[in-house]
């Protein structure tokens, strides 16, 4: 396994809830965040800022796999500092939540993370026996629907770039909406599909025009069957989609993600059908929900030649069954919330359906070079499930562990993702092997 150790100082002030100039700063004794089984993990903890000396001790909670509490305790501060040690004798992650309260101010908190033997983290369950057959049938259902692509040209607001709004037909009367841009100069181009993070929002034109200016034929897809350029108030008013991830979670035929997944597949097929595609490079990339869609479609559609994902969602949904927190959309937790007054059989349906949409079960089919980044203090899409999916990929791959990164990349904590994905994109654009 090719593990890229990104050495970043673990200063989690962005997660610390700075109050009156005080903050908890956590620094690892060993940079990189990756440890072997039984190796001691040591963090140095400092309280800094105004009146730092007024805080005499800190409380900590150590959780394995972002779910199971393995130890709690207090750290007595000496010269505003203390040391926290831990270890893990089995593959997994450890996350430390460190908090303290000084007189007359609110509690401040910091997070620190480590991963132990990441290459040994396995999925928490096996794929359904008919997983491949189910998706073969869904692709057949999609193929029976004409693409009916419609391109509506619009000003690109960028010299040398053509811009279009795109619609296509999808299953069961639904539609695909997106935006496409390309260099105005005639020629065949490498293709790039951008897939979006969770939420309901408009697409920004520069997301595609910036890439087109670099030389890409680029398509950016809306995850929803919605127009892409309405005012923010329009999307905010779609209350029925406020919790779209829960729609249809008890039935694989009605899951909200069925239409979304097939949209991605059709988008790849559409790019590959265009006369201005170079016929060689068709890359896909996204973060969070966009990462979920990227790994899914890379496993489902062999036309994808490279995949790049940052803190991908949807990995190892059954993790909670083995003491591992699942990543967004956290179907198990949603299932418990929606079935708490009914029977356990209903929850089991949610668990079973989630397996058909679990990225870990698509990852085993990925055959293209794949870049995956994880954040060790990401509680939205914890590293464990992502690593379980990563370990299923049977192709050239690179893992970037971001020690201080939370899900949103506060304080530029996802710098390593931006830098390495830029290197991959440039290599692909130049027709060279990825780094």
Give the tens place of pLDDT for each residue, 208-227: 999 999 999 999 999 999 99
Same domain, 201 and 316: yes
Q: In this predicted model, what pLDDT tens digit does every residue of 378-430 receive, in sequence order?
A: 999 999 999 999 999 999 999 999 999 999 999 899 999 999 999 999 999 99
Q: Judge if 103 and 228 occupy the same domain.
A: no
Last residue of a domain, one of 94, 120, 146: 120
The full length of the chain comes to 435
CA separation for the pair 102, 111 (Å, rounded) = 18
pLDDT at 426: 98
**pLDDT for 97-146, tens place per residue?**
999 976 656 788 999 999 999 999 999 999 999 999 999 999 999 999 99
In which band, very low, low, confident or very high, does the pLDDT at 162 lie, cut at 50, 70 and 90?
A: very high
pLDDT for 30 beyond 60:
yes
Residues 36 and 142 in one domain: no
**Is there a domain that residue 126 lies in?**
no
- How many percent of the chain have pLDDT more than 70? 92
Establish if 81 belongs to a structural domain. yes
Nearest Cα neighbor of 362 from 395, 333, 339 is 395
Are 370 and 402 part of one and the same domain? yes
Confirm whether 194 is domain-assigned.
yes
In a domain, 182, yes or no: yes
200 lies in the same domain as 308: yes
Q: Is residue 42 part of a domain?
A: yes
Q: How confident is the model at residue 230 (pLDDT cuts 50, 70, 90)?
A: very high
Number of Cβ within a 10 Å radius of residue 101:
15
Question: For the whole model, what pTM was predicted?
Answer: 0.93
Domain harbouring 409, CATH code: 3.40.50.1820
159 and 87 in a common domain: no
Dihedral (CA of 279, 197, 424, 372) sign = negative
Q: Is the pLDDT of residue 13 over 50?
A: no
Structure token digits, residue 62: 């150590």
Kindly state the helix (H) or strand (E) to which residue 238 belongs, with its residue range. none
Instruction: State the total domains in the chain.
Output: 2
Tell me, what's the pLDDT at 376? Answer: 98
* Cβ(332)–Cβ(317) below 8 Å: yes
Does 249 lie in the same domain as 313? yes
Same domain, 281 and 402: yes
Determine, yes or no, domain membership for 435. Answer: no
Rounded to whole angstroms, the Cα distance separating 238 from 231 reads 12
The pLDDT assigned to 53 comes to 80
Contacts of 204 (CB under 8 A, 6+ apart): none
Q: Is residue 40 part of a domain?
A: yes
Are residue 286 and residue 397 in the same domain, yes or no?
yes
Helix axes of 256-273 and 289-300: crossing angle, nearest 10 degrees = 60
- Using the structure block, give the residue that is written with the tokens 């970043």: 8
pLDDT reported for residue 54: 81
Are residues 145 and 30 located together in one domain of the fold?
Answer: no
Is 223 in the same domain as 328?
yes
Q: Taking 70 as the threshold, does the pLDDT of residue 1 lie above it?
A: no
Give a yes or no: residue 253 inside a domain: yes
What is the domain range of residue 82? 3-120
Q: Last residue of a domain, which of 120, 146, 172? A: 120
Q: Are residues 101 and 139 in the same domain?
A: no
What CATH number did the domain enclosing 101 receive? 2.60.40.1930
Instruction: Please give the pLDDT value at position 107.
Output: 85
Q: What would you report as the CA-atom Rg of the chain, rounded to the nearest whole angstrom?
A: 23
Q: pLDDT tens-digit profile of 34-85? A: 999 999 999 999 999 877 888 889 999 999 999 999 999 999 999 999 999 9
Element (H, E) at 27: strand 23-28
Q: Note the pLDDT of residue 52.
A: 81
């Amino acid at each position: 396994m090719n593990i890229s150790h990104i050495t970043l100082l673990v200063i989690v002030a962005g997660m610390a809830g700075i109050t009156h100039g005080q903050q908890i700063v956590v620094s690892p004794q060993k940079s990189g965040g990756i440890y072997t089984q039984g190796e001691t993990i040591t963090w140095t903890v400092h309280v800094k800022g105004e009146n730092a000396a007024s805080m005499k001790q800190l409380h900590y909670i150590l959780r394995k796999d972002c779910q199971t509490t393995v130890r709690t305790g207090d750290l007595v501060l000496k010269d505003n500092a203390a040391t926290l040690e831990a270890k893990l004798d089995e593959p997994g992650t450890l996350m430390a939540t460190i908090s303290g309260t000084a007189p007359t101010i609110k509690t401040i908190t910091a997070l620190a993370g480590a991963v132990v033997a990441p290459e040994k983290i396995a999925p928490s369950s096996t794929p359904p026996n008919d997983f491949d057959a189910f998706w073969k049938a869904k692709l057949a259902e999609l193929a029976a629907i004409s693409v009916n692509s419609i391109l509506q040209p619009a000003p690109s607001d960028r010299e040398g770039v053509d811009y279009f709004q795109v619609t296509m037909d999808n299953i069961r009367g639904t539609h695909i909406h997106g935006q496409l841009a390309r260099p105005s100069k005639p020629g065949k181009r490498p293709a790039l599909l951008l897939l979006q993070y969770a939420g309901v929002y408009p697409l920004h034109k520069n997301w595609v025009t910036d890439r087109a200016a670099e030389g890409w034929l680029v398509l950016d897809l809306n995850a929803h069957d919605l127009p892409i350029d309405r005012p923010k108030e329009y999307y905010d008013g779609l209350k029925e989609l406020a919790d779209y991830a829960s729609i249809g979670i008890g039935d694989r035929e009605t899951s909200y993600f069925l239409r979304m997944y097939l949209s991605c597949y059709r988008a790849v097929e559409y790019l590959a059908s265009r006369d201005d595609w170079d016929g060689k490079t068709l890359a896909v990339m996204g973060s969070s929900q966009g990462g979920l869609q990227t790994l899914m479609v890379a496993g489902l559609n062999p036309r994808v030649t490279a995949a790049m994902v940052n803190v991908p969602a949807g990995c190892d949904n059954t993790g909670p069954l083995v003491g591992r927190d699942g990543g967004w959309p956290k179907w198990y937790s949603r299932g418990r919330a929606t079935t708490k007054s009914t029977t356990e059989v209903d929850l089991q349906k949610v668990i079973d359906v989630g397996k058909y949409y679990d990225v870990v079960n698509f990852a085993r089919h990925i055959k293209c070079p794949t870049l995956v980044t994880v954040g060790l203090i990401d509680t939205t899409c914890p590293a464990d499930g992502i690593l379980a999916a990563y370990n299923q990929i049977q192709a050239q791959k690179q893992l970037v562990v971001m020690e201080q990164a939370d899900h949103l990349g506060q304080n530029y904590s996802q710098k390593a993702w931006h830098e390495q994905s830029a290197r991959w994109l440039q290599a692909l654009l130049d027709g060279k092997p990825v780094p």
